[in-house]
Amino acid sequence: MLTLALSVLPAFSSTFPGANATWSQLSGGDPLIECTTVGTEPWCRATGLVDAPLEQVTATLKDMAAHQALFDSIVRIDVVEPDTMHIVLDFPAPLSDRDYVAKYTVLTDGPTQVFHWESVLHEAAPPTSGVVRLPDMAGEWRLTAEAGKTRVVYLWEADVQGSLPAFTQNKARTIAGHKALEDIRKATAAAHGG
């Protein structure tokens, strides 16, 4: 299990989309997938409802490494420090898988639990041949209780690096957003007998 620091909204080094960001919808429904840019960096978010209480979704994310087999979009998670994980993402052939090393912080923003992460370098997780490293990967899971369920906003820095053609990027971002919400729903249900 990750040992994550619990704090109130500290300053982070990555530039996340601000409250005044203009979002473009890629996919409607649940999840809603939207993207924006900060400078030249693409950011996306997937918003949906998980049919489980906040405490269960929070517990699933806190112990994500133990539930990694339940996340279809993840090949492997290695905990390299109590608050840092090396995550390898499954990309469809012929594309290479992607990976990143992320330092996590758990914080509270009013009624919302936030799992914030930013890329870091770590000697226990050097770049791997055949896998594209995502050096700027950052994001958040924002969880808010809503009538016995959990409203989830998954925000991520959406530059997939490598040789993905530009014309396929929005499709890839839409798939990533859908998979993230699908994975947290499935992992929470399986981990908590749902």
Q: What is the pLDDT of residues 147-180, one digit of tens each?
A: 999 999 999 999 888 777 778 889 989 999 999 9
The total domain count for the chain is 1
- Tokens representing 84? 């840092």
82 found inside a domain: yes
34 found inside a domain: no
Q: What CATH number is associated with residue 186?
A: 3.30.530.20
127 found inside a domain: yes
Query: pLDDT class for 193, splitting at 50, 70, 90?
Result: confident
The DSSP code sequence of 18-76 is -TTPPPEEEE-SSSEEEEEEETTEEEEEEEEEESS-HHHHHHHHHTTTTTGGG-TTEEE
- Give dist(CA 155, CA 16) in Å, integer: 9
Amino acid sitting at position 120:
V
- Give dist(CA 98, CA 75) in Å, integer: 10
68 found inside a domain: yes
Q: What is the pTM assigned to this prediction?
A: 0.89
- Give dist(CA 108, CA 61) in Å, integer: 15
- Tokens representing 136? 């700027």
Structural domain containing residue 93:
41-191
Whether residue 37 is predicted with pLDDT greater than 80 in this model: the reply is: yes
